[in-house]
Amino acid sequence: MNVVGLDVGGANIKVAFIESEQTPPLTIRTVNVFFPLWIKGKKNLKHAVQDAVLKIVKNRKVDVVGVTMTAEVSDVYFTKEEGVNHVLDCVQRIFSSTPIFVLDVEGNLLPVEEARRKPYKVASANWMATGWLVSRFTVNSMVVDVGSTTTDVIPIVNHQVVVRGKTDLERLAYDELIYTGILRTNLSTITNIVPIGKKFVRVSSEFFASTGDVHLVLGNLKKEEYTTETADGRGKSKREAMARIARIVCADLKMLDEKKIKKISRFIYVRQIKQVAEALKNVYNRTHKTPKKELSIVVTGIGKKILAEKAAKEAGFRNIVDIEKLTKLKISENTPAAALTLMVLNRLERGKNLWMQS
């Protein structure tokens, strides 16, 4: 059975593909395509999804499709319901004769028509696929998935996902969703002051620079890993990134030298680590009895090394596990899409996936 998993976001379209009849060990092909929905427009979403699928599926047959999404959060849609329906319209037009299942926040795989009747159950449910996968490998753990824009904190107790929040609103309230990532986050949402010389200076709340600039300047990212848009539409050289960072205090490169900009960048980086660490501690205190030193913190996402691991250590955790070592699958950069393919496969071919725990 050949399964496609789609994670349709507002900034990135992620696709995973499994051919279950392949010779073991099982491998998952994945692709991540940058598609800023608010810039490209919803009229182009269907073609973008189709192109992303073709990159890895090519001319192979697809037997079933799993869908999850966060694109409905985009302000190109007036309501989440409108966004959910539009994403499903696009997927149905691409896979008009293929069975499609939509993930909901309870971990159910719904037929498309049922998903349309329950738009708030399927909106922004991609974290559940990640939690489900990790729950197959760990008894008690927390998942930290750091992406370009957001961070998910997913507690696992007794092989079960035990989140308090299901909607994004609820997850924000319970520290299970932190709107901070390693590429697209506005620096003014991380701190309202930065050090310059011996003083702290307030920052502008304009979108002058993003976390991608900070991590590029600090050497946490390579230029080619900075895959999203920049705040000013200019390039992704170190000098251009420094210019954007200088602008958050209404300065430029003639006013601030590289040493001062690196000091600002390090300060923001530490603040971002503490932001995620605080959320981790809050979720842990609410959900777990396992001692911190023993609890597994499973890290994934493009920011697993840069932010997830650092935040876990800052929060006092020591047993930090890379999801790729845990699962023996190369899925860090597209975890929800990959996990969804496995979920669909597991539901349809129960008992045949011997690589997973039962």
Of 238, 263, 288, the residue that ends a domain is 263
Neighbours of 17 (CB within 10 A): 23
For the cut 80, the answer to whether the pLDDT of residue 197 exceeds it is yes
Residue type present at position 241: A
Predicted confidence (pLDDT) per residue in 162-186, tens digit:
999 999 999 999 999 999 999 999 9
Q: Is the residue at 221 inside a domain?
A: yes
**CATH code: domain of residue 56:** 3.30.420.40
Q: Are residues 73 and 152 part of one domain?
A: no
pLDDT at 261: 99
Q: Do 154 and 176 share a domain, yes or no?
A: yes
Contact 30, 331 (CB under 8 A): yes
- Determine the average pLDDT of the residues in 76-103: 98
Q: How far apart are CA 110 and CA 350, in angstroms?
A: 17
- Asked if the structure places residue 354 within a domain, the reply is no
Q: Is residue 109 part of a domain?
A: yes
The answer on pLDDT for 213 being more than 90 is: yes
Mean pLDDT, rounded, for 219-228: 96
- Which tokens is 212 given? 């991608």
Q: Of residues 21 and 209, which shows the higher confidence score? A: 209
How many whole angstroms separate alpha carbon 244 and alpha carbon 212? 11
pLDDT at 22 over 90: no
CB contact set of 337 (below 8 Å; sequence gap of 6+): 5, 6, 7, 14, 15, 16, 30, 68, 126, 129
- Report the distance separating Cα 150 and Cα 208, nearest Å: 19
Residue 281: the pLDDT is 98
Domain that holds residue 170: 132-182+273-325
pLDDT number for residue 349: 81
* Averaged pLDDT of the chain: 96
Higher-confidence position of 328 and 352:
328
Considering the domain architecture, whether residues 147 and 32 belong to the same structural domain is answered as no
Query: Same structural domain for residues 318 and 256?
Result: no
- What residues does 142 pair with on adjacent strands? 155, 297
Query: Do 152 and 90 share a structural domain?
Result: no
Q: pLDDT at position 352, please?
A: 54
